[in-house]
Amino acid sequence: MMNWLYLLVAILAEVAGTLALRASQGFTLPLPSAVVVLGYGVAFYFLSLTLTAIPMGIAYAIWSGIGIVLISTAGWLWFGQALDLPAVLGIGLIVAGVAVINLFSHATPH
């Protein structure tokens, strides 16, 4: 159970780092730049902890899939970035893929 919590922390830290990356303006602003480094450091550390129990490909698929959904949503909500129908459908397919992995794959510990 802790491995899934570690994966969630990794995902949220990566999302925070990515949002700060946009705000850092090419690493010219110190505070957002520090959040980028800290966010990615925390993300990779906690991702590494998940790999003791969750297969690497599965953990990475879940991490990247949920990260894409969260980043796309944040970009739309906070930065006014457009999501057209093909983008929304593609993100929906990513969500479906993560759901299939979690619900039906025997490679993931339940």
Say how many C-beta atoms besides its own lie within 10 A of residue 31's C-beta. Answer: 10
Give the domain extent around 55: 2-104
109, part of any domain: no
User: Side chain identity at 110, as an amino acid letter?
Assistant: H
How confident is the model at residue 74, as a pLDDT?
94
Percent of the chain with pLDDT over 90: 70
Summarize the confidence of residues 97-102 as an average pLDDT: 86
In this model, does residue 110 exceed pLDDT 90?
no
What is the radius of gyration, based on Cα positions, of the chain? 15
Percent of the chain with pLDDT over 70: 97
Q: How many domains does the chain have?
A: 1
| Dihedral in degrees, nearest 10, Cα atoms 14, 47, 91, 33 | 10
How confident is the model at residue 104, as a pLDDT?
86
Write the DSSP symbol of residue 28.
T
110, part of any domain: no
85, part of any domain: yes
Say how many C-beta atoms besides its own lie within 10 A of residue 21's C-beta. Answer: 18
How confident is the model at residue 108, as a pLDDT?
62
Summarize the confidence of residues 59-86 as an average pLDDT: 92
